[in-house]
Amino acid sequence: MTGNLKILIVIPVYNSGTPLASVVQAAMSTGYEMLVVNGGSDDRFFLQSIASLHCRSIRSKEHLGKGAVLLLGAEEAAKLGYDTMVSINSDGRYNPADIHLLVAKAQNSKIPCVVVGAQQQSHADTGNPKHFAKTSANFWVRLACGLEIDDIESTFRLYPVKELLAQSLNRSHCGFEIETIVKLVWSGIEVYSVPVTAGNTPENEEISRLMKIRDSLSLALLHSQLVLRRLLPWPHKKLVKQEPFQEKVYKTISKNPLKVLREICREHTSPFWLAAAVWLGIFMGALPLLAIHTIAIIYVAHRLHMNKVAAVAASQFCMPPVVPVLCIQMGYYLRKGELLVDFSWQPWLLGMHERLWEWLIGSLLVGPLLGFIGAGIMYFTASHLQQAKNH
């Protein structure tokens, strides 16, 4: 995405209140063309807010979710011949003057890209429930597509119009920003983030407890769907031509196999993600994946962008007989209410099908617990070594 971009600013609106006029004025002052998309606001309120500003606007007859409103703006942008759009809230939480930061980042990219305007959080915000929610969202997005974005839920974004409209999106409100980023990355689109200044905090942003629970469950379902889709071996449709993964790996290995091994050992080696890989290795190592543990662990670690060496190494702690027997005993206890104290060959060989079932049941409890212990040890060890290296 080099050279001049034909950019349209899109402002989705639904009863935004007082900030709308000032946001529209500030956006117009950037010099870019602008479109206000009315997602079902009251006509009188909407017209009074921007009547004197002489900006282009369209209106949906029915109330749409924020994602659907944004896609409506993207469709209009495509009709008008724009290849790029910048979405910004109408409630004043972002500063339209920062639009040039997103545009500058996009102009330095060689392929179509998304640029996220990320508001920086202070240390005082780390105990805030919103900070925890953002951290959790970043974790799941990292598993789904391998990217760590500073403010994944930011609605201040630059999008390539054609590529955005090519996506099959299921969310029109809660989770739209997350689903959009993940599926664009799967399509081969680069995603960047740039720091932006914080605007005014929207008034009347109170959300009911019931709505918070509903949104949390909806996001949990979305993250589960995206991660499960990531684990499937079927390739995603690419919108940007890239060198086939197999060919790229073959060329790299043939040139310098030792370099490839070093890169595999060093990939995703932050203390947190090393700990996550250890948890994955121990959890999967405890499962009754007879004769295919290593292959399965390498596959899942690769799909979830985790350190494959750490995951496979951690799984070795689950080798027979200790952990499998522990899992079988746990499963037997859950089924029968007592431990299996008969170690003769009859219950272990003749009842092998039952022992395998108990192994599976027990591993779903023992595996995560042992995984957390191993992950904790790895995290603190890696953090200590990293600090010692920095000093």
Pairing of strands 113-119, 190-196: parallel
- What are the structure tokens assigned to 84, written together? 């790029």
Contacts of 342 (CB under 8 A, 6+ apart): none
pLDDT (tens digit, 9 = 90+) per residue, 196-242? Answer: 987 666 555 555 566 778 888 888 999 999 999 999 988 888 887 76
pTM exceeds 0.95 for this model: no
Number of H helices, E strands in the chain: 16, 7
Over the chain, what is the mean pLDDT? 83
CA distance 126 to 95: 23
pLDDT average, residue stretch 16-36: 83
3-state secondary structure at position 135:
helix
- What are the structure tokens assigned to 379, written together? 């995290």
- What are the structure tokens assigned to 271, written together? 């203390």
- What are the chain's domains? 7-231 (3.90.550.10), 245-390 (no CATH)
Confidence of residue 1 (pLDDT cuts 50, 70, 90): very low
- Give phi and psi for 194, each to the nearest 5: -130, 140
- Give phi and psi for 197, each to the nearest 5: -80, 150
pLDDT (tens digit, 9 = 90+) per residue, 349-383? Answer: 778 888 999 999 999 999 999 999 999 999 998 88
Confidence of residue 159 (pLDDT cuts 50, 70, 90): very high
Length of the chain equals: 391
